[in-house]
Amino acid sequence: MNSLYVIRGVVALLCICLIVYGMGVRNCCLLTDRAKDDILMGRYDKALESLDRARNTTLNKLFNLLGKEDLRLEYNTGVVLTLLEKKAEAAARFEKASASSDPVLKARSTWSAAVPGELFGVR
């Protein structure tokens, strides 16, 4: 009988952890989508705020403690900073994102760091 309670407790704990993780991922995705919409509308300051809020979510902080940063957030922040004409800060974000294991993200961030301001025709 005790082993049944232990199994139920472990399954319940696993379910709670998965629900909390899913809510955190959903929140971060919603904030990133909001930032993309703001970029399309030309509201770059609001997009930067949305990306900062996504960076400060509990789930992202937990991943940072575990040593797994979301480098897509760094790249997207670099794009917004480039559009805001803050090229030095954008280059630093692109340099950080170029450490990604994703070859497409690595290529884009490396190129953007090497040629700041050429992104989207901004000079």
- pLDDT recorded at residue 71: 84
User: Using an 8 Å Cβ cutoff, are 33 and 47 in contact?
Assistant: no
Q: Name the DSSP letter for residue 86.
A: -
The residue ranges of the chain whose pLDDT is under 50 are 121-123
> What gap in Å lies between CA 13 and CA 103, rounded to an integer?
36
Overall pTM surpassing 0.75 (yes/no):
no
- pLDDT recorded at residue 122: 46
> What gap in Å lies between CA 79 and CA 103, rounded to an integer?
18
- pLDDT recorded at residue 38: 82
Any idea which architecture 2-117 has in CATH? Alpha Horseshoe (1.25)
User: Using an 8 Å Cβ cutoff, are 28 and 60 in contact?
Assistant: yes
> What gap in Å lies between CA 76 and CA 47, rounded to an integer?
9
User: Using an 8 Å Cβ cutoff, are 100 and 69 in contact?
Assistant: no
